[in-house]
Structure 1
Amino acid sequence: MTNYRDSRRKNHLNAFEEQPDLVVGKTNASAGKNEDVEFSIEQADADDLEALERARQADERAGRL
């Protein structure tokens, strides 16, 4: 095993301190897959309609408990 000092760290005693894996630029990183959107029945496809039906069924099951 080779012991070495990471020269990027200011204090070698904090060898296990957390470092960021990725630096995100100044773009809007929050926009994307977790963004809330309005549901439109007119624009819904077959998968959306199936999800809507499954949600309705789940609500019915939850109401019976």
Structure 2
Amino acid sequence: MTTALPVLVVGATGSLGGKVVDELLKRGKNVRALVRPTTDASRLESRVSRSPAATCSTSTHSSPP
């Protein structure tokens, strides 16, 4: 049995990244999104909660100045 590796989407809370996440979830992919702690990820979290194959991870580093 082969286990599919997760697909990392950077920028998943943005317009294009959100569309990429939606398409990956439709295809049954295991999606992992890296989200900055200061970003509102509520729309992403609602997408993720509807799909058992997705996870949402929050990064612990900040952007460079």
TM-score normalized with structure 1 length: 0.25
Pick the structure with more strand per residue: 2
Larger radius of gyration: 1
Pick the structure with more helix per residue: 1
